[in-house]
Every structure is written in C-alpha cells, then in structure tokens.
Structure 1
C-alpha cells in the first residue's frame, strides 16, 4: 500500500527561521550601538548574548533543513554537523511524549535509535523542529516503518 510519497520531510517553519535571522541582526545592531555609546558592561553583555543566541538558532534552523526525513529505507536526522542516517532496522521505537509546561500541553516525538557502534540514542523533536504536530509526525513515521 503506497501513498505515492517516496520521502517525507519535516523542517522548522521558514518564517520562524527568517524571524531568527532578523532578531540576530537586530540584536547585533543593538550591541554595536551600545558599544559606540559606551554603555555599561551589563547591557553590552545582554545584547551580546541575545545576538549570539539568536545567531545560533538561525544558523541551526537554516543548516538543519530538513530536520527529519523518512523514506522506505529509514530516517535521516540533520543537525549542525550534517545528516545522520538510521535504517528502519536500527529504529528501536517511535513514541510521543506528552508533557504539561507553563499550563500548556506539549508533545515531542521520541525516536530510540542505535548508532553505527550499536549505542542507543534518544532523539527528540518538537513542533519547532518539525513544523507540524509531533503526534501527526509520529503516526506518519510509525506507518512508514511498518511497510
């Protein structure tokens, strides 16, 4: 039973990544203005940390696209240092972790995988990683794995 889709991909929303780049640029400008105005060290530190944090988030959102991909052979997870491939035979489990944070229910997709050396790894993906509801993604992964 085929759905006609060879590979499914999930990525952070492009608008969110663009917003992170804009935020990083804004924080960098803020930092430069504080330095030129000889502002206090605390303000410069806050601006610098904000600029660096937003830069890392934007870079990760750009480089790690697609964050997760699934095809008939397995899953591919992309991070800052490139993709990692896990055939379905090394995917031990797919679960949805539901938690309550700040009065809100949140979900994560958990993938239990074995790396090349046989060591167990737990991979977690949230809505920001996937751009979709993690519960829907887990269902799609599970059905693809069963084929």
Structure 2
C-alpha cells in the first residue's frame, strides 16, 4: 500500500531529450558549415522541429505527477490539475503501422489527455497500475 504522502512522477526519458538537443547542435553546425543551400534549408527545418520537441521534453518535466489528492499534467505553456473524483484513468490499445500501441488516457470533465511511452518514459500500463494503487 502506498503512503498517503507518496508522490509519483513520470517524464520523457532524459537521455532521449539530451539526444534531441545533441541532434539540434549537430544540424545547426552542419547548416553553418555546408555550402549547399537546399541542404541548409532542409537541415534548418529538421533542427527547428528537433529544437521544439527537445524544448517540450525539457520544459514539461514532470509530464505527469500524482499523489493522494489527484493528478497533474504539465505541458509547454500550462499545467492542468484534477482531483481523483474528476478524472478517469484508462489504457487504450490501438493498432498503428501493424503493431499494437498503448496510450494512457486521462479523461476529465473538461479535457482529455492522451500520454504515450515518450511522454511517460515507461509503459502506459505500468503508469495506470501505479495510478490505480495510488487512487485507492
């Protein structure tokens, strides 16, 4: 049984976020050093997308937090919070590109938040189980 003051958190994997930032540095260096104008444009777009994803992975930490009072989800610009009585937690499995993918859905009165492995750093099934134990 979890203690009443336990706080659980889940975030994107730090190594993956660091890899994203390293990719940004590498693509910017390539864009500065190359003479290929088309290559600069493509690499610049890739660097911008990677920078936005890495920024999200850096700022939205922890992505999901829970304790005995409820759950909190952090995004890039805002944080949402619900008491346990306001949110339903479930795992949804769908087929994508020929394989089964699990996502964690937090269904509140005013919002639906869908979190995957990249958001949580672990399997959504494990997070759902921990949330269920914490909620009891």
TM over 0.5: yes
The 1-side partners of 2:25 and 2:97 are apart by: 29
TM-score w.r.t. the length of structure 1 is 0.85
Contact 2:2 2:134 in 1 (8 A): no
TM-score w.r.t. the length of structure 2 is 0.91
* 5+ residue gaps, structure 2: none
> 2:126 aligned with 1:136, yes or no?
yes
> 2:103 aligned with 1:108, yes or no?
yes
Matches within 5 A, 1:1-147: 2-4=1-3, 6-34=6-34, 37=35, 39-40=36-37, 42-91=38-87, 93-114=88-109, 120-145=110-135, 147=136
Contact 1:64 1:82 in 2 (8 A): no
The 2-side partners of 1:19 and 1:61 are apart by: 11
Runs of 4+ in 1 over 6 A off after TM superposition: none
Task: Note the alpha carbon deviations across 1:85-138, whole angstroms, 9 max, x for none.
Answer: 1111221x2111111222322100011113xxxxx2110000110011101111
The 1-side partners of 2:96 and 2:32 are apart by: 36
The 2-side partners of 1:12 and 1:57 are apart by: 11
Contact 2:2 2:133 in 1 (8 A): no
The 1-side partners of 2:67 and 2:2 are apart by: 12
* Residue in structure 2 matched with residue 117 of structure 1 by the alignment: none
Q: Secondary structure at the match of 2:51?
A: helix
> When the two structures are aligned, how many residues end up with a matched partner?
135
RMSD (Å) for aligned C-alpha atoms: 1.5
